[in-house]
Amino acid sequence: MARPAYSLTLDLEGRRVVVVGGGPVAARRAQGLLAAGAAVQVVAPWVCEDVQQLVDDGRVRWEQREYVAGDLLTPEPAWLVQTATGDPAVDAQVAREAAAARIWCVQAGDGRASSAWTPAVARGAAGSPAEGITVAVSAAGDPRRAMAVRDAVSAALDSGTLPVRGTRRTPEPGGSDHVAGRVALVGGGPGAEDLITVRGRALLAAADVVVADRLGPRGLLRDLAAEVEVVDVGKTPGNHPVSQQRINELLVHHARLGRRVVRLKGGDPFVLGRGGEEALYCVRHGVAVEVVPGVTSAVSVPAAAGIPVTHRGITASFVVASAHDGADDVLRAAADAAPDATLVLLMGVTGLERTAKALVAAGRPESTPVALVERGWTADQRTTTTTLGRAAADARAAGVRAPAVVVVGEVVGVRAALGDLAGVASGG
C-alpha cells in the first residue's frame, strides 16, 4: 500500500458475515467473528472438523455447495466477507463481487488484493486489570511480524507494565450508577522492584489509590499516573504516624467511593504483615477484597545473603517469628521446633540483646551462628555474621539498623561458601 491503512474497529453484533471456504483458516476466522457477535454464514462444499462442530452447535449456518454469484446479497446484503478457499480464482471472484456491492472483503490468500485486513489482536484477559483493552497490530502484510508484536503486547498487558488503568468506570450490572470499588492486598516482595508478582504489578498499574508501606518496591510508585492517589502509611521503629485502625478505614473509605485500591505491602501480606486484619475489616464492611501473595523476606532475604533456611544435612525445618514485642513471642514460636531448626526473626534488631539472652537461657548454645541481613534485595544490602552470644555486641559495633532479618542456626555457615546471591546487590 502506498498509504497507511485506516484502522477501524467494527461492531458486528447480529450482522451478517459470509465466510467462503471451510478449512482451518475459515474455522479460525469464523470463531473470531462469532466472538464479536456476528451472524456467520459459511459457504463451502466441505468443512473441517472445527467448522463442523460450529455447525453442529448451531452457531453458524452452512451452505454446503460452491460459492455462486449473489451469495453476498442473499438473503440480505452481508456487512463483511472473508475468503479462505485456497483457490485464487474463487477468492478473486468473491472480491470482485464484494467490491461491486460495496462490501468489505478480507482475502486470506492475498492480503494485497483485499479491501480490508484482520490484524493480530491482543486482548486483556477477562477478570484481569487489562480487561476491556484490545490492541490490533498490522505489519504491512507481514503476519508473522504482526503476531510477534501482538504477543509482546499481550505479555505486557498481563504483566502490568503498560498503563492499563481505566479512566471511564463501568457502573455495576443491573443499571445502577454506583461503581463498586475493591481492595487488593498486594505483597510487593522483599524490596527489589522486579520481585513483585505479575498479578501484583498488573493491579498496581490499574489502581486508583495505592496505600503504601515503607518497605517493598516503592520505586514502582514512580511509574503510576499522576492522577493516582498515593497514601503513604509507612511505619518506622517507634514511629507509627498512621495507626492500623486508620489504615483499615482508609481502605474501606476509598473502596466505597468506587475506587480500585491497592494496599502495597512489603514481603507477603499474610506473613507478619497484618494483611489478615485488613482483609477481615474489608469483609466486615462489605468491601470486595483479594490477596496477592508476595515473596516473603523471611525466606528471600536470607537467600539473598547466601543462607538457605533449610539445607540437607543441616536442618529440614525453619521457624519464622516476630521479635517486635520481645523475646516471649520468639520463645513460644521456637518451643516446639526441632532443636536444629533455623530461626528467622523479623523486626528483631531493637530487641536483639534480650532475644539472644532468652534463646541462650532456653538452651540454644552461645556458639550458634547468627546472621544479621540489613536492607535485603537492595543495593545497600549488608550482612553481619556473629554468634548468639556476641550478636548484640557485634550488632552495636557494626551499626546494624532496621530493616534487617535475623537468622539463627547452623545454616548461616553456608554463606561462607556462597556469599551474596541477590542480583540487585551485586549490580546484576
Active-site residues, by number, are 213, 235
Name, in order, each residue with C-beta under 8 angstroms of 92's C-beta and a sequence gap of 6 or more.
Answer: 113
Query: Which residue matches cell numbers 498488573?
Result: 202
- Measured at the CA of 374, the angle between CA 371 and CA 379, to 5 degrees, comes to 125
Cα separations in angstroms, 2 against 5, 118, 140: 9, 19, 10
Give dist(CA 103, CA 124) in Å, integer: 30
- Helix pair angle (352-361, 391-398), 10° resolution: 160
Query: Which residue matches cell numbers 525453619?
Result: 318
In which region does residue 334 sit, left (phi positive, over 0), alpha (psi from -120 to 50) or beta (all else)? alpha
Cell of 192: 527489589
Helix or strand or coil: residue 59?
coil
Query: Which residue matches cell numbers 541477590?
Result: 422
Cα separations in angstroms, 149 against 128, 143, 152, 325, 408: 21, 10, 5, 53, 49
User: What's CA 109's distance to the chain center, in Å?
Assistant: 38
